[in-house]
Chains A and B, each alone.
Chain A
Amino acid sequence: MPVTSSNDDPDKARRFREAALPYLDDVYTLARYLLRDPADAEDAVQECYLRALKHFDTYRGPAMKPWLFAILRNVCRAEFARRAAAPSAGIDDADEAAEQAPLWHETPETPEAQVLRDRDAAAIRRMVEALAEPFKETFILREINNLSYREIADTVGAPVGTVMSRLARARALLRSAWLAVEEQPK
């Protein structure tokens, strides 16, 4: 029967497509935050899927999303190395962060909660992107990609305790950025 024969001869590309493509938006989101450049993010995601397909035969779990994220991190690391080799890449990043700061002008003396609620996605994104590594990555994996602590630990290859302290630090940094914006004069 055709049904069984196609099951007996499982096709890697089809299985890969079904397992990995549903997470394309997740992988792209992480790439955008890590690389902060749409074109670089696209390249990194494509490279990530190529590598994932190559290693799909040896994939045994745990979950697809952390596995793809771990591959993406390696791709991004290569990209960071390339940028570091290019002159003044690191300084550019710092400048970019500094330039973004004045964009957040909110009415002062608004209660913290109100400010948090009113802040639009674009402003929050800029603040998240301005977080230092490795706190930014941990924060994004938790708050935006919705991974559990265990999955984050699997993705970044660190113990859960490290994930917890990084997350606490990330939130503390973000909170002070938030408060600083609030106090910033127009």
Chain B
Amino acid sequence: MNCEEAEILLHALIDGELDAGHASEVEAHIAECPRCAEAFAAYRQMSQAIAAADLRYTAPPALRRRIEASLPQARAPSRRAVLRGFAMGSAVSALAATGLVAIVLRNDDEQRIMSEVVSAHLRSLQAGHLTDVISTDQHTVKPWFNGKLDVSPPVIDLTGQGFTLVGGRLDYVDARAIGAVVYRRRQHVINLFIAQTPTIERRPAKTETIQGFNIRRWSEGGLNFWAVSDIGADELAEFGEKFQTAMQANKEG
């Protein structure tokens, strides 16, 4: 690969748009070309700074109301009418209806965060970006997060159980700083993203696949967890279960 190609492709690498083959070609070029390496580092920093600064605008409430009002309301059954329809079935289905609305909304948000988590995972696989603190010792990785996040993410060494702790990293998801604990399974990287959640509700693990990556997501003890990797769903489930068991044991012990 020459510099001209790399100048364009290094952006795709930053944006996590390259497949593994092209990504490693660009990385190989960066590794031996100081000029492109410098550009890559500068652009990556710029991207991170932009992601960290919230550059989005919020639509004024008056605009939202105007648009709402301009939609043909009369012909549309209002949400209340829809709910009444459910309620006519039984009290239980009315409850189910409100639950459904909540689930739909939450999923929408969740889907977006999931794809951000996958992007963060892809970014982490780029040259020299996997870990901010490199250590196989949980007592080194855990204190490293102190003062960097609004939560203290649980760092659990699962080396004895086939998942090697590699280190930790600060990442950005949903426009917030988020903790990432990095594990390895053979040659595969597992990023465990940990963020605070407003509820202490315990949510069972769910696995999804986005862009070929498996994501196992669960909530426990006021924290949201997303484990992302290219290992199989069964192995990722094994990881999640072992982590949760160990976390439970830590709490009790």
Q: Which residues of A contact B (CB under 8 A)?
A: 1-3, 5-6, 11-14, 16-18, 21-22, 24-29, 32, 38, 42, 45-46, 49-50, 53, 112-113, 116-117, 119-121, 124-125, 128, 142-144, 146, 148-149, 164-165, 167-168, 171, 174-175, 178
Beta-carbon nearest neighbor of B54 in chain A: A121
Known: A22-B108, A46-B67. A13 touches B17 (CB 8 A): no
Q: Which of B47, B63, B86 has the most CB of A within 10 A?
A: B63
Bound form: Cα–Cα A168–B45 in Å: 15
Where chain A touches its partner, the secondary structure class is helix
Bound form: Cα–Cα A167–B50 in Å: 14
Known: A2-B86, A116-B49. A125 touches B12 (CB 8 A): no
- Tell me the smallest distance from the CB of B210 to a CB of chain A, in Å: 12
Interface-facing stretch out of B74-82, B212-220, B228-236, B241-249: B74-82
Say whether A149 contacts B17, CB under 8 Å. yes
Beta-carbon nearest neighbor of A16 in chain B: B71
- B43-78: CB near A (< 8 Å → 1, else 0) gives 101111111111111111001101110111101110
- Tell me the smallest distance from the CB of A42 to a CB of chain B, in Å: 5
Say whether B67 contacts A24, CB under 8 Å. yes
Q: Which residues of B contact A (CB under 8 A)?
A: 7-9, 11-12, 15, 17, 42-43, 45-60, 63-64, 66-68, 70-73, 75-77, 82, 85-86, 88-89, 93, 104, 108, 116
Say whether A124 contacts B55, CB under 8 Å. yes
Beta-carbon nearest neighbor of A38 in chain B: B60
Say whether A2 contacts B88, CB under 8 Å. yes
Bound form: Cα–Cα A3–B67 in Å: 28
Say whether B51 contacts A49, CB under 8 Å. no
Bound form: Cα–Cα A21–B88 in Å: 28
Cβ of A3: which chain B residues have Cβ within 8 Å of it? 85-86, 89, 93
Cβ of A14: which chain B residues have Cβ within 8 Å of it? 76-77, 82
Beyond A32-B57, A121-B55, A171-B11, 9 additional contacts (C-beta under 8 Å) are A2-B89, A17-B71, A27-B59, A28-B63, A42-B60, A46-B66, A121-B53, A125-B55, A168-B8
Bound form: Cα–Cα A167–B10 in Å: 11
CB contacts between A and B, total, < 8 Å: 121
- Tell me the smallest distance from the CB of B58 to a CB of chain A, in Å: 5
Say whether B76 contacts A13, CB under 8 Å. yes
Say whether B67 contacts A116, CB under 8 Å. no
Cβ of A38: which chain B residues have Cβ within 8 Å of it? 60
Q: Which of B46, B50, B58, B75 has the most CB of A within 10 A?
A: B50
Bound form: Cα–Cα A113–B73 in Å: 51
CB < 8 Å: which of B12, B53, B67 contacts A45? B67
Q: Which 10 A-B pairs have the closest CB atoms?
A: A2-B85, A28-B59, A116-B49, A13-B76, A121-B53, A29-B57, A24-B59, A29-B56, A32-B57, A13-B72
Bound form: Cα–Cα A128–B42 in Å: 17
Cβ of B66: which chain A residues have Cβ within 8 Å of it? 46
CB < 8 Å: which of A6, A22, A28 contacts B58? A28
Known: A164-B8, A164-B12. A128 touches B55 (CB 8 A): yes
Known: A6-B85, A168-B7. A175 touches B59 (CB 8 A): no
Cβ of B59: which chain A residues have Cβ within 8 Å of it? 24-25, 27-28, 45
- Tell me the smallest distance from the CB of A162 to a CB of chain B, in Å: 11
- Tell me the smallest distance from the CB of A18 to a CB of chain B, in Å: 8
Cβ of A125: which chain B residues have Cβ within 8 Å of it? 55
27 A-B residue contacts at CB 8 Å? Answer: A2-B86, A3-B89, A11-B76, A18-B104, A21-B64, A26-B56, A29-B57, A38-B60, A42-B63, A49-B70, A113-B45, A116-B48, A117-B45, A119-B49, A120-B53, A121-B54, A124-B53, A125-B55, A143-B51, A144-B55, A144-B56, A148-B17, A167-B15, A168-B11, A175-B42, A175-B43, A175-B46
